[in-house]
């Protein structure tokens, strides 16, 4: 690694990334590169998916964690390592530590998904649940490091972490030498910084575009200010990129090398995750689907061939269920509504008959007759319907209104 003369922060070079690649030989997989006919049709150019969701531990995080821990001095290894994470980094640190024979302790939020907690333990870490949000968990891990001498393994703000993540960029250039644009999700910035270092050093003509969830987009204001700034209460379903402040080390690299940072909405993230599952047959977490969300948002603004980096696939099944329903609603394939009708025998059957005529599949019905908001002869029905897209949703609403039903929402 070298140091920036401007601010004395360590930086990362192509040699660092190549060194990390040698270190990861036999440890991290060269994950598959899959073409997407559907996305290629939208973009008007070839689109490939770099499947880091199929990496060992389910995300790219193993790369950086292994390089960081492997670079520790013998006395540092003897002291053990500690990390804080809600999922992917936790599993990467746990597995890397086990491979290297280093004791690891991982702090996770109290509400962390049980499958991620169990996987982290299975990879060999001692898991301690602390705090309701990651910031509290992070503080507990840093305090543990001060008290015990364990080495704190930051999820993104260290040059070894960035060099390890940058090996994904070298693989992309090898697997898709004709690439013109690489799209990558950004949280703290370690992955985007590493990919940009590797790619721009070898192919400066290739564009690197970062993607953040709109509710946790700390990079746009930071880039505008010229320094990392914090945003209050980052909120998004994409927990892998839900970071309130860019890392100091990755920020300078992103600022210098990443061509553009875009944001995507929660609806776009849901639709992207659903597309990956249905069209590509890939289980991808919301953060991993963020590059696909950007392609869906503005497909004609990308120069092809395009590589979308699917950074991870560790998604809790219960969250997946909610996200898929959200994604189906965003795509017009799931419709939830409430309406009023006259409370008389056969009224519900008549309503269902209207829905049958417009070919809406009823998934669930909730029928309320007794409520202070209802008139004496009124009943309220909540319907969950499977529909065929936005046009069909509009047809269903119109059919109900034409039949005289008061649609509340």
Cβ distance 117 to 107 under 8 Å? no
Strand bridging mode 126-129 / 104-108: parallel
CA 268 and chain centroid, separation: 12
Round to whole Å and give the CA distance between 359 and 363: 13
CA nearest neighbour of 405 among 387, 383, 373, 376: 383
Backbone angles phi, psi at 133, to 5 degrees: -130, 165
Q: 293: part of which helix (H) or strand (E)?
A: helix 286-297
- Marked catalytic residue, from 36, 104, 290, 311: 311
Q: Which residues contact 252 (CB under 8 A, 6 or more apart)?
A: 4, 6, 7, 9, 11
- Marked catalytic residue, from 61, 116, 200, 207: 61
Active site residue 85: no
Token digits for 393? 């949703």
Active site residue 61: yes
Cβ distance 403 to 354 under 8 Å? yes
Strands (E) across 13-74 are located at 33-35, 47-51
Beta bridge pairs of residue 262: 211
Could you list the active site residues? 61, 311
């Amino acid at each position: 690694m070298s140091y920036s003369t401007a601010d004395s922060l360590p930086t990362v070079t192509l040699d660092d990334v190549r060194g990390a690649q040698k270190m990861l030989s036999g440890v991290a997989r060269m994950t598959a590169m899959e073409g997407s006919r559907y996305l290629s049709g939208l973009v008007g150019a070839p689109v490939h998916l770099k499947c880091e969701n199929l990496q060992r531990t389910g995300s790219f995080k193993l790369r950086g964690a292994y390089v960081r821990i492997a670079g520790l001095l013998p006395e540092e290894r003897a002291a053990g390592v500690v990390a804080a994470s809600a999922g992917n980094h936790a599993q990467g640190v746990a597995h890397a530590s086990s491979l290297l024979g280093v004791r690891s302790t991982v702090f996770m939020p109290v509400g962390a998904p049980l499958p991620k907690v169990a996987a982290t333990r299975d990879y060999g870490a001692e898991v301690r649940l602390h705090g309701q949000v990651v910031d509290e968990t992070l503080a507990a891990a840093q305090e543990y490091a001060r008290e015990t001498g364990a080495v704190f393994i930051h999820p993104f703000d260290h040059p070894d972490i960035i060099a390890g993540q940058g090996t994904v960029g070298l693989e992309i250039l090898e697997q898709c030498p004709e690439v013109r644009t690489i799209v990558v999700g950004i949280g703290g910035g370690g992955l985007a910084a590493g990919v940009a270092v590797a790619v721009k050093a070898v192919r400066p003509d290739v564009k690197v575009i970062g993607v953040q969830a709109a509710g946790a987009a700390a990079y746009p204001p930071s880039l505008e200010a010229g320094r990392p700034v914090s945003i209050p209460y980052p909120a998004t379903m994409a927990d892998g990129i839900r970071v309130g402040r860019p890392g100091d080390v990755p920020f300078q690299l992103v600022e210098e090398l990443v061509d553009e940072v875009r944001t995507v909405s929660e609806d776009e993230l849901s639709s992207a995750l659903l597309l990956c599952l249905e069209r590509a047959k890939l289980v991808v977490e919301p953060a991993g689907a963020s590059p696909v969300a950007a392609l869906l948002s503005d497909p004609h603004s990308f120069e092809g061939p395009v590589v979308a980096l699917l950074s991870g696939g560790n998604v809790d099944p219960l969250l997946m269920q909610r996200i898929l329903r959200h994604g189906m609603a965003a795509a017009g394939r799931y419709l939830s509504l409430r309406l009023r009708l006259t409370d008389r025998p056969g009224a519900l059957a008549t309503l269902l008959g209207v829905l049958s005529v417009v070919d809406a599949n009823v998934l669930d019905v909730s029928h309320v007759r007794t409520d202070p908001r209802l008139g004496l002869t009124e009943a309220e029905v909540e319907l969950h319907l499977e529909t065929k897209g936005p046009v069909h949703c509009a047809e269903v609403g119109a059919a109900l209104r034409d039949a005289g039903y008061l649609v509340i929402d």
